[in-house]
């Protein structure tokens, strides 16, 4: 089973600052990598697919990069609504696996 | 507008059964793979099962194989998850999700609690 490892576990950022989240796959997933945002009590929301393509309606401050085993989600200027947990997920092989999540909290 | 609405969760004893439903609207249901994803309290996300558009292909996580059965009724635009021989570790919020490369749309989830 593909293992997805996210770092850091928690990221403390001030509003307006940049946040950089990392995701590493135990084997290559090519560009079959997605990022999701989850707020308390809500379902995950797709942000990025294909490692770098924003989903419909996602603001341009969210960007994704990487391929193979190393991926990054960048939030260029954090807004109050961006404080949440972020998960990466590979969809290259079954079972599709998620990282354990990075919590972005207010500094 | 795409909508996915789960139902059927609740409290069940270990060894018991439960059937979850996910009613879809706002898109041509039969064209998409559909997934069940669960999240234990305070934990991460796990893909439990998936099914292709016409229901002919199904896949399961090892942890639920031979206990859970995914199915769909395209005439009713509804996805199902039959869960048998439930265990405490199956306690989670269960989400249905529509696949389009990644999991593009999600329902609000339904809570399944397995406890004596």
- Percent of chain A scoring above 70 in pLDDT: 100
Would you place residue A33 in the very low, low, confident or very high pLDDT band (cuts 50, 70, 90)?
very high
Q: Stretch B66-91: mean pLDDT, rounded?
A: 98
The answer to whether A43 contacts B50, with C-beta atoms less than 8 Å apart, is: no
Rounded-to-integer distance, Cα A52 and Cα A50, Å? 6
- Percent of chain A scoring above 90 in pLDDT: 98
B104 interface with A at CB cutoff 8 Å: yes
- Asked if the model's pLDDT at residue A62 lies above 90, the reply is yes
A64 interface with B at CB cutoff 8 Å: no
Residue pLDDT, tens place only, A4-25: 999 999 999 999 999 999 999 9
- Asked if the model's pLDDT at residue A36 lies above 90, the reply is yes
As a whole number of Å, the end-to-end CA separation of chain A is: 35
If one compares B7 and A106, the residue with the highest pLDDT of the two is B7
What values do phi and psi take at B62, rounded to 5?
-55, -35
Would you place residue B101 in the very low, low, confident or very high pLDDT band (cuts 50, 70, 90)?
confident
Mean pLDDT for all residues in chain B: 97
pLDDT at A87: 98
Rounded-to-integer distance, Cα A40 and Cα A59, Å? 20
A102 interface with B at CB cutoff 8 Å: no
| Region class of B15: left (phi > 0), else alpha (psi between -120 and 50), else beta | left
Residue A31: its chain B contacts at CB < 8 A? none
Residue where the block lists tokens 């135990």? A26
pLDDT at A15: 94
Would you place residue A43 in the very low, low, confident or very high pLDDT band (cuts 50, 70, 90)?
very high
Q: Stretch B33-60: mean pLDDT, rounded?
A: 97
Would you place residue B95 in the very low, low, confident or very high pLDDT band (cuts 50, 70, 90)?
very high
Of the candidates A45, A87, A94, the beta carbon closest to that of B44 is on A87
Q: Stretch A93-101: mean pLDDT, rounded?
A: 96
Rounded-to-integer distance, Cα B108 and Cα B97, Å? 10
The answer to whether A87 contacts B45, with C-beta atoms less than 8 Å apart, is: yes
pLDDT at A17: 96
A94 interface with B at CB cutoff 8 Å: yes
Would you place residue A107 in the very low, low, confident or very high pLDDT band (cuts 50, 70, 90)?
confident
A96 interface with B at CB cutoff 8 Å: yes
pLDDT at B104: 96
């Amino acid at each position: 089973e593909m293992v997805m490892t996210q770092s850091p576990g928690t990221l403390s950022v001030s509003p307006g600052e940049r946040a950089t989240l990392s995701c590493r796959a135990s084997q290559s997933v090519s560009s079959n990598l997605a990022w999701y945002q989850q707020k308390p009590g809500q379902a995950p929301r797709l942000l990025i697919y294909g490692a770098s393509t924003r989903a419909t309606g996602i603001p341009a401050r969210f960007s994704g990069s990487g391929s193979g085993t190393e991926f990054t989600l960048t939030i260029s200027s954090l807004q109050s609504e961006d404080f949440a947990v972020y998960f990466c997920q590979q969809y290259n092989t079954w079972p599709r696996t998620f990282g354990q999540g990075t919590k972005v909290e207010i500094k | 507008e795409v909508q996915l609405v789960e139902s059927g969760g609740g409290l069940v004893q270990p060894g018991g059964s439960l059937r979850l439903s996910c009613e879809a609207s706002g898109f041509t249901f039969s064209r998409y793979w559909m997934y069940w994803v669960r999240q234990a309290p305070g934990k991460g996300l796990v893909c439990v099962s998936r099914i292709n558009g016409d229901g002919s292909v199904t896949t399961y996580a090892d942890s639920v194989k031979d206990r859970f059965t995914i199915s769909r009724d395209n005439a009713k635009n509804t996805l199902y998850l039959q869960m048998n021989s439930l265990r405490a570790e199956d306690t989670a919020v269960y989400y249905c999700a529509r696949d389009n490369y990644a999991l593009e749309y999600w329902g609000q989830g339904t809570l399944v609690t397995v406890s004596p």
